Amino acid sequence: MADNTNNNNINNNNNKDEDDEFKEIKEEWIQIQNSLKQQLILTDNVTWSLNELRYIGGVDISFVKDNNEDACACLIVLEYPSMNIVYKDIGFIKLTLPYIPGFLAFREVTFLMEMINRLKSDPVNSQYLPQVILVDGNGILHPRSFGLACHLGVLADIPTIGVGKTPFQQDGLNIKDIRDQFKKNCQNAGDFIHLVGTSGTIWAAALKSHKDSTNPIYVSQGHKLSLETTLNIVKLLTLYRVPEPIRQADLQSRDYIRLNFKPTTPPNTTTTTANK
């Protein structure tokens, strides 16, 4: 009865933390996404044409600082081309899962689906069900070609677009090369470069969305849209660096937290005296 209970490997205590504390759950999640991936469509698969684009959704989740479970989820529907907000679903949520790089969908997608399903079943507002949803996170620009935008699109069966502010570096993609090419080739708003991996895969586009933007946004296919159509839609909806549906969802959810979040235990645990 010695104390060498886990000696399957000879030297396994020189790594960072534990050896992948999420290894089990990751394997499970990969299987789930592999299954969903069979339903993913990366060509134009919509009944409308661009000049019939009217209702566009944007989703985002904002977080409370120093707090791992309280957050605010928001679904915005904009009318194009007026850009008026015609529908808003916003409220606090309780996060249950951590952020694990490459697995953002599992942390956020259930809350996004709740909002979409609420709209789908709303007798008054279901007319505003968006024709396409812009997602704060990548689409196929992802280690397993299935980012949050893809995951949400398949579950909701709605066309989606992934919009990221930082890219995954995979398949030979490299942030320095991307920035160099971007700086060289993208001078005006609307200019973009394709992100082509070593394998020849076109993962996304780095888009100069606004004339004053130094950094690109990374636009990748989510579901049911070609990259070309995806980019055309993003360009139509961009007034600032971040496309308006996502920008509005972000602004609204941040405001909501600032105005409505009440800490349960204020940082006043020291003084219980001196009230007169």
Q: Which residues bind DNA (CB under 7 A)?
A: 14, 60-63, 65, 99, 101-105, 136-138, 142, 147-149, 162, 164-169, 175, 254
Around Cβ 70, how many Cβ atoms within 10 Å?
17
CA angle 207, 140, 143 (to 5 degrees): 110
Smallest distance from DNA to CB 1, Å:
31
Smallest distance from DNA to CB 217, Å:
9
If the CB atoms of residues 62 and 229 are measured against DNA, the closer one turns out to be: 62
If the CB atoms of residues 110 and 125 are measured against DNA, the closer one turns out to be: 110
If the CB atoms of residues 80 and 182 are measured against DNA, the closer one turns out to be: 182
Smallest distance from DNA to CB 73, Å:
11
If the CB atoms of residues 81 and 98 are measured against DNA, the closer one turns out to be: 98
Smallest distance from DNA to CB 69, Å:
12
CA angle 254, 257, 263 (to 5 degrees): 150
If the CB atoms of residues 51 and 199 are measured against DNA, the closer one turns out to be: 199
Smallest distance from DNA to CB 44, Å:
22
